[in-house]
Structure 1
Amino acid sequence: MNAPPRRGQAVGAGVAIIVVTVLALLLVDRFRRPGPRPLFQLPVTCGEVWRLSTYPGHDDFDVDLFPTEGESWGRPVLASASGTVIESGINGSLGGRTPQNPRGPKGRGGGYWVKIDHGGRWESQYLHMLEPPLVEVGDEVAIGQQIGKLGSTGNSGAPHLHYEQRVAREKVEAWFGGEPSGITTDDRELELERTSANCP
């Protein structure tokens, strides 16, 4: 007669099955074809004109947004397309730059941030916000919904919104209103102006 399996063997086999299943799901996700690009809009208030910029060392496809008029601190940061919040909180460390102390110490990383999954393997990221985000992981957000306030937390030299679009986890050129942003490389400094059509 065969001896019954020991408890340790059964647990080990169960763990092995779980590991293999997780790896298989990750591989399937990795090779799944992305869906069509969502109709992203600028992540700022409808009708406002904003400066989109980059600079050497910023990283390809990263977009920094600054308002062309008025105070920067505390401006609404809006979802650029509908989706589900998959990250919300602190990326790195906050530092000490505030409206009352704009030259305070820098932090690390993105500071207060949000990442949204838009389906079809498309994501957007919003970094350096002033305060804890207004949304939590798992929240469903609509395009144009406020998710935070513009600030300078993390590794930021001035109040602005650092914004990224990703597909299949890779950064790509951000599009707004069905048109490419024009920011593709950090080889040189570049500034462009766009008017937000993120309207109700």
Structure 2
Amino acid sequence: MTRRSTALSAAVLALAVLGVALVVVPRVLPPGPRPDFQLPVTCGETWILGTYPGHDDFDIDFFPAKGSAWGRPILASYAGRVAEAGVNGTLGSRTPDNPKGPHGSGAGYWVKIDHGGRWETQYLHMLEPPMVTKGQRVRTGQQLGRIGSTGKSGAPHLHYEQRAARQKQEAHFAGSPSGITTDTREYSVRRKSTNCPTPSP
């Protein structure tokens, strides 16, 4: 091999390594500080946060402590940009008028929000198409949709997740851990929402 071809091969290899680094490095960067997430439900209401075996660690199902879940507002738990909004899987046909209808698959109507710093939240099983669209900026407490039972859902509820660098995390609300950490057993906790409108100055 000539000196020129050796130099050319080295240059190509260096560019290849640089290209891989540019693709890989952003994916392995650690997440930024955890945002001040709030419960994704109406200010002042008490909700039951639950899980069960096979649900997946850190996933939370929200049910109201009082009254029906159908149609309750789903709120952004922190400000950010809508990364996904629409249908995941199939919808099924469970509605308030037909609550025992065939269920679908996946998340049904859902929203994913990018909060920056490699943090995101997900909101699944909405009753109807989301009230927000992909790319839209949302504020903390802004309504994203209403609770339903689309997708693979046995009853009306909100399935909620917090993720950092694409990995599920124990959800924190108003600075405190939720207590939902494992899916090895069925259990629940009660939390009161402080996702309240910010007073105007």
Q: Same fold (TM over 0.5)?
A: yes
* Partner SS state of residue 86, structure 1: strand
Q: In structure 1, which of residues 151, 175, 184 is the aligned counterpart of residue 181 of structure 2?
A: 184
CA apart distance, 1:36? 0.2
1:86-101 alignment runs, 5 A limit: 86-101=83-98
Give the gaps of 5 or more residues in structure 1. 1-16
Match of 2:112 among 102, 115, 134: 115
* 1:113-134 deviations in Å (ceiling 9; x for gaps): 0000000000000000000000
Distance in 2, matches of 1:51 and 1:150, equals: 14
Trace 1:56-75 onto structure 2 (pairs within 5 A).
56-75=53-72
- In structure 2, C-alpha distance between the alignment counterparts of 1:178 and 1:26, rounded to whole Å: 33
Deviation at 1:98, TM superposition (A): 0.3
Could you tell me how far 1:71 is from its partner in structure 2?
2.0
CA distance in 1, matches of 2:118, 2:23: 13
- Matches of 1:198 and 1:98 in 2, distance apart? 27
Deviation at 1:33, TM superposition (A): 2.2
In structure 2, which of residues 140, 143, 155 is the aligned counterpart of residue 143 of structure 1? Answer: 140
Deviation at 1:89, TM superposition (A): 0.4
1:33 aligns with 2:30: yes
Cα offset for 1:26? 3.4
Q: 1:164 aligns with which of 158, 161, 164?
A: 161
- Cα deviation for residue 47 of structure 1 reads 0.1
Q: CA deviation at 1:25?
A: 4.1
Paired letter, 2:48: R
Residue 120 of structure 2 aligns to which amino acid in structure 1? Answer: E
**SS in structure 2 opposite 1:94?**
strand
Instruction: Describe the SS at the equivalent of 2:39.
Output: coil
Match of 1:127 among 118, 124, 133: 124
CA distance in 2, matches of 1:139, 1:42: 21
What is the aligned counterpart of 2:99 among 96, 102, 117? 102
Alpha-carbon distance in structure 2 between the residues aligned to 1:88 and 1:26? 26
Deviation at 1:81, TM superposition (A): 0.3
1:82 and 2:79 matched? yes
Question: Aligned AA for 2:196?
Answer: C
Residue 29 of structure 1 deviates from its aligned partner by: 1.6
Give the match for residue 173 of structure 1. 170
Measured on the aligned residues, the alpha-carbon RMSD in Å equals 1.4
Choose the corresponding residue for 1:50, options 29, 47, 50. 47
Of the structure 1 ranges 123-132 and 26-35, higher mean CA displacement relative to structure 2 is found in 26-35
CA distance in 2, matches of 1:31, 1:152: 35
User: 2:103 aligns to what SS in structure 1?
Assistant: coil
The one-letter code sitting in structure 2 at the alignment partner of 1:110 is A
Identity of aligned residues (%): 67
CA distance in 2, matches of 1:142, 1:57: 33
Q: 2 CA distance for matches of 1:128 and 1:61?
A: 17
3-state SS of paired residue (2:125): strand
